[in-house]
């Protein structure tokens, strides 16, 4: 059995100082693991790499279990063809060491990276604890699509498209991932390559979106990334505890004015065509059309409404003001009864503070050869 570089995601065999004094040698851990399965099945290079990891634990992954006794921690577990073997091996090693150390160390509870576990003799007491750690680590990886972690919190998904800077996108992608990880923003982000360069998919709590979005944009702007007319910014709004039909109706009824708040390049764009004002939410879903101002197909898949209209942008205030307008429409306690075509009409049907009106006015005048008073 030979693991490829991509598959080889074994981070560390966990141990503590007390564990080491009991086991006397780090290499006993290696022997215990290899004894679980026929040693001949291990490639020599794999054993060398494992031994190297035990000698010099790396810090590029957070070794959240370092003091917990024993266990295996993985990142990108979906890349493992033989992950069941590693999980089984870790559990058998845990049970064996637990018996060896019984009575030699105190039992109790410890918390590692937000997960509270019972330990006995420095070893996880509960079978399956390792899987909790793995799943938590995987959910934070920038290579993993983010999903809501709580039913009590509303989230906003923001997809930021931006241009690549060089012909080597693979190297650039690694640089971006490192910058996001260094800024401790990986738990919110998933990076993929797109037609225009890259797309950073974020999932952010709605009640704190400006702060977190600002930190993400600071990283990208600090790396001198830019956008052009080929880029878009798509946003998913959480509908799990909202009246999706009312939200849809309100968004469609303000779509005329929303199109006036974006550049010309978005108004005739085939990826964000206007929704039909003659359709109900259910009829729009049945039409099976994704590339609209409001993409209703995302509701069945993600329980969100996706707004696809906004142009590519890495400017916090521009994105913040747009998101606030959407939130005003979907959080409005009443259904808007008529089409809203101008900023003057918009501020009458939705509540805007004075500074928000100024931002709306400036945005409208930027994208239209017209001065307004609101």
pLDDT tens column, 211-246? 999 999 999 999 999 999 999 999 999 999 999 999
Question: Distance between CA atoms of 327 and 325, rounded to whole angstroms?
Answer: 5
Q: Is residue 347 part of a domain?
A: yes
**Structural domain of 135:** 10-140
Q: Is residue 1 part of a domain?
A: no
Question: Distance between CA atoms of 140 and 364, rounded to whole angstroms?
Answer: 38
CB atoms within 10 A of CB 70: 26
Q: What is the pLDDT of residue 36?
A: 34
Domain final residue, candidates 110, 140, 170? 140
Classify burial at 145, counting beta carbons within 10 Å of its beta carbon; exposed 0-12, middle 13-18, buried 19 or more: exposed
Q: Which residues pair with 358 in a beta bridge?
A: none
Buried b (16+ CB within 10 A) or exposed e, 223-247: eebebeeebbbbbbbbbeebebebb
Q: Which residues does the chain have with pLDDT short of 50? A: 1-43, 46-47, 49-51, 53-83, 86, 113
Q: What is the pLDDT of residue 18?
A: 39
What does the block give as tokens for 348? 């009458």
Question: Distance between CA atoms of 162 and 173, rounded to whole angstroms?
Answer: 12
Classify burial at 347, counting beta carbons within 10 Å of its beta carbon; exposed 0-12, middle 13-18, buried 19 or more: middle
For residue 148, give every residue at least 6 positions away whose Cβ sits within 8 Å of its Cβ, in sequence order, or none: 155, 203, 238, 240
Distances (CA, A) of 57 to 3, 13, 136, 181, 340: 19, 9, 20, 18, 60
Say yes or no: 167 and 98 in one domain: no
Say yes or no: 23 and 109 in one domain: yes
Say yes or no: 272 and 306 in one domain: yes
Q: What is the pLDDT of residue 311?
A: 98
Count of domains for the chain: 2
Domain final residue, candidates 140, 173, 194? 140
Say yes or no: 160 and 91 in one domain: no
Q: What is the pLDDT of residue 161?
A: 98
Buried b (16+ CB within 10 A) or exposed e, 315-334: ebebbebbbbbbbbbbebee
For residue 127, give every residue at least 6 positions away whose Cβ sits within 8 Å of its Cβ, in sequence order, or none: 91, 94, 95
Give the DSSP letter of residue 312. P
Q: What is the pLDDT of residue 270?
A: 94
Q: What is the pLDDT of residue 141?
A: 77
Q: What is the pLDDT of residue 237?
A: 98
Question: Distance between CA atoms of 249 and 281, rounded to whole angstroms?
Answer: 7
Q: What is the pLDDT of residue 143?
A: 82
What does the block give as tokens for 219? 């990283």
Say yes or no: 230 and 119 in one domain: no
Q: What is the pLDDT of residue 16?
A: 38
| Whole-structure pTM value | 0.69
Q: What is the pLDDT of residue 366?
A: 96
Coil, strand or helix: which one is 318? helix
Say yes or no: 65 and 127 in one domain: yes
């Amino acid at each position: 059995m030979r693991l490829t570089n991509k598959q080889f995601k074994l981070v560390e065999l966990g141990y503590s100082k007390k564990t080491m004094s009991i086991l006397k040698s780090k290499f006993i851990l290696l022997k215990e693991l290899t004894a679980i399965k026929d040693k001949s099945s291990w490639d020599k290079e794999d054993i060398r790499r494992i031994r190297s990891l035990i000698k010099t634990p790396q810090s590029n992954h957070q070794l959240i279990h370092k003091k917990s006794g024993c266990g295996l921690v993985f990142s990108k577990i979906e890349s493992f063809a033989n992950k069941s073997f590693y999980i089984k091996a870790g559990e058998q090693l845990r049970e064996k060491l637990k018996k060896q150390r019984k009575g030699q160390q105190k039992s109790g509870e410890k918390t590692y990276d937000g997960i509270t576990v019972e330990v006995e003799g420095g070893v996880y007491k509960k079978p399956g604890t390792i899987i909790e750690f793995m799943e938590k680590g995987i959910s934070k990886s920038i290579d993993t699509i983010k999903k809501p972690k709580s039913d009590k919190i509303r989230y906003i998904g923001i997809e930021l498209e931006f241009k690549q800077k060089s012909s080597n996108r693979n190297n650039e992608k690694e640089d971006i991932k490192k910058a996001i990880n260094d800024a401790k923003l990986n738990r919110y982000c998933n990076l993929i390559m797109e037609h225009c360069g890259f797309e950073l998919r974020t999932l952010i709590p709605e009640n704190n979106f400006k702060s977190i979005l600002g930190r993400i944009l600071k990283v990208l702007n600090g790396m001198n990334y830019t956008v052009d007319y080929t880029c878009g910014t798509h946003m998913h709004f959480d509908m799990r505890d909202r009246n999706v039909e009312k939200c849809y109706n309100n968004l469609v009824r303000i779509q005329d004015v929303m199109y006036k708040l974006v550049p010309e390049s978005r108004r005739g764009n085939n990826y964000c065509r206007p929704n039909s004002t003659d359709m109900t939410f259910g009829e729009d879903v049945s039409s099976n059309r994704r590339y609209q101002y409001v993409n209703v197909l995302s509701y069945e898949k993600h329980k969100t409404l996706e707004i696809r209209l906004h142009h590519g942008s890495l400017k916090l205030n521009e994105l913040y003001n747009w998101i606030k307008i959407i939130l005003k429409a979907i959080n409005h306690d009443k259904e808007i009864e008529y089409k809203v075509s101008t900023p003057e009409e918009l501020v009458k049907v939705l509540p805007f503070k004075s500074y928000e009106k100024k931002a709306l006015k400036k945005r409208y005048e930027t994208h239209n050869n017209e001065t307004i008073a609101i």
